[in-house]
Amino acid sequence: MIGCVLGLALPACDECCDAGGDRARADGCDCLGGERDDGQSPKTVAGARGEPDARYTVRGRVEMVPVAGKPQTEFVVHHEAIPDFKRLDGKLGMNEMSMPFPPAKSLDLSAIAVGDMVELEFAVWMKPGNLHMEATRVTKLAADAQLNLKGG
C-alpha cells in the first residue's frame, strides 16, 4: 500500500521498505505493491486531491510499463536513493528500490520502454485520507547514463 511506501507506522512494512528493492518484493511484502489507486475511485477526479505536499525528482531504470487493457501492469521504476524524501514518520530518506509510480492522467508514457533509464518527477500527497503518489514527468536519460543502483 502506498502508506507503506511512505513509511507509515507499520513495523513490518517499515522493515520491508528499509530492505528495499527486489528482495522485498520477492518476500511478498505489501510495501511495494498491494493496495493501489485504480484510477476509478472518486478521489482521483482531477483536482480533488489539491496541491501535492511534496515533489521529488529521481533517476532510475524502468522495470515495467503499463499496458492498455491489462490492469495488472503498472509503471515500475527501480529508483536511486532519495535522501530528502519526507516520510510520514518524520524520518528522511527512501532507499533505492523498485516501486510502482502510478502515472498522472496527463502523463504520456508511450515513448518509455522497459530498460530505459529515466529521470522521474513525482508528486506526493501525505494528508490522512489523501495518501497518494503519482509520476508527473518522465524523461529518458542518455543511453550511457550511469545510475547509482546497487541492484545493477
Residue 76: strand pairing partners: 64, 100
Contacts by residues 67-72 (CB-CB < 8 Å, ≥ 24 positions apart)? 71/38
The span of 6-14, 34-42, 87-95, 129-137 binding Cu ion (CB under 5 A) equals: 87-95
Q: How far is the CB of 42 from Cu ion (least distance, A)?
A: 27
Taking the least distance from each CB to Cu ion, the nearer of 18 and 49 is: 18
**Burial state string for 39-50 with b = 16 or more CB within 10 A and e = fewer than 16:** eeeeeeeeeebe
Taking the least distance from each CB to Cu ion, the nearer of 4 and 97 is: 97
Q: Under rule CB under 5 A, which residues in 94-123 are in contact with Cu ion?
A: 94, 97, 99
Q: How far is the CB of 79 from Cu ion (least distance, A)?
A: 6
62 binds Cu ion (CB under 5 A): no
Pairing of β 82-86 and β 97-100: unpaired
Pairing of β 54-64 and β 92-94: unpaired
The span of 47-55, 89-97, 105-113, 140-148 binding Cu ion (CB under 5 A) equals: 89-97
The whole-angstrom separation of Cα 120 and Cα 131 is 19
Q: How far is the CB of 111 from Cu ion (least distance, A)?
A: 23
State the residues that interact with Cu ion by CB under 5 A: 94, 97, 99
